[in-house]
Amino acid sequence: MQIMINGLPGNMSSLAAKTIAKKSSYKIVPFAFTGPEITAASTSIEGQEIALIKPDGKAIIDQIKKDYGGLTIVDFSHPSAVNKNIEFYCSKKINFVCGTTGVDMAAAQKKIADAGIIAVVAPNTGKQIVALLSMIQYAADNFPEAFKGYSLEIVESHQRGKADISGTARATVPYFNKLGLPIKDGDIKPLREPEEQKRLGVPESFLGGHAWHTYSLKSPDESVLISFTHNVNGRQIYADGVVDCLDFLNKKGSAGESGKMFSMMDVLKG
């Protein structure tokens, strides 16, 4: 598989590129789409020079497809651009992995089906964290309203540069609703200020890249407190998960699958 990594030179896309570059079964193409604000003409990944293409230069994708057969895209672009990017990948019939948050899932699923491609769309590619989410989903499906009457507080802390509320935290909302907790996306408390994060306990060396989440469930009389916590320092867990996603797509493509959007839970099961 030839891999095009879009979103370079961003932190997550750069780490994903470095991780993929170490896998002999994948080759990174020397082009990447980037944001309009990026001034650099290129970036280097493990000694390989990669040209950065602005949004107005996307027509080059036809030549890239021609020159690099078996092209698959990994997208870690900005949330404000991700839905247009997915529409573009579908229009060009290119399989992809998208780890960017802010995806319109219903629209993406329809476009992928119409294009006859396969894709993994996962706002969290950390498979261990997704495994925890699957446990919460299991509880929601099998024990509906088990926490009816309880209150829920969701606090998530990420680096200051994260543009939106955590997609992982938002993904838990429908599960907690099933469990009887009437919480909305807007009730999630995002922490982005370093001083707040240090008081929370985030190591100073990881203020620039972390994901700390706590879900606190409290009984009406406050005699019972149940908490779920997952604290991730750095981004390697997500980069490793991207490789799992590529392996999964490779397997599905070899089996002749088409027109399907997969989640990280599908990757775990597959």
Q: Which residues are catalytic?
A: 158, 162
* The predicted structure's pLDDT at residue 71: 97
* The predicted structure's pLDDT at residue 177: 98
225 shares a domain with 240: no
pLDDT tens digit sequence for 256-267: 999 999 999 999
Q: Can you tell me the distance from the alpha carbon of 31 to that of 8, in angstroms, rounded to the nearest whole number?
A: 10
117 shares a domain with 83: yes
Say whether pLDDT at 270 is over 90. Answer: no
83 shares a domain with 43: yes
Q: Can you tell me the distance from the alpha carbon of 197 to that of 185, in angstroms, rounded to the nearest whole number?
A: 21
What range defines the domain where residue 175 resides? 127-233
Question: What sign results for the dihedral spanned by CA atoms 267, 131, 90, 114?
Answer: positive
72 shares a domain with 9: yes
Quote the percentage of the chain above a pLDDT of 70: 100
pLDDT tens digit sequence for 196-237: 999 999 999 999 999 999 999 999 999 999 999 999 999 999
262 shares a domain with 170: no
207 shares a domain with 117: no
Work out how many domains the chain is built from and give that number: 2
70 shares a domain with 14: yes
pLDDT tens digit sequence for 64-93: 999 998 999 999 999 999 999 999 999 999
150 shares a domain with 72: no
Name the pLDDT band for 195 (thresholds 50, 70, 90). very high
- In 3D space, the residue among 23, 63, 65 whose CA is nearest the CA of residue 250 turns out to be 23
110 shares a domain with 15: yes
35 shares a domain with 99: yes
Say whether pLDDT at 167 is over 90. Answer: no
Name the pLDDT band for 163 (thresholds 50, 70, 90). confident
Q: Can you tell me the distance from the alpha carbon of 237 to that of 157, in angstroms, rounded to the nearest whole number?
A: 17
Sheet holding 260-262, edge to edge: 27-28, 2-6, 71-75, 95-98, 118-121, 260-262
Question: CA gyration radius for the chain?
Answer: 19
Alpha carbons within 13 angstroms on the beta-carbon side of residue 6 total 29
pLDDT tens digit sequence for 14-50: 999 999 999 999 999 999 999 999 999 999 999 999 9
157 shares a domain with 107: no
Q: What is the CATH number of the domain that holds 137?
A: 3.30.360.10
240 shares a domain with 106: yes
Which structure tokens are listed for 113?
């089906």
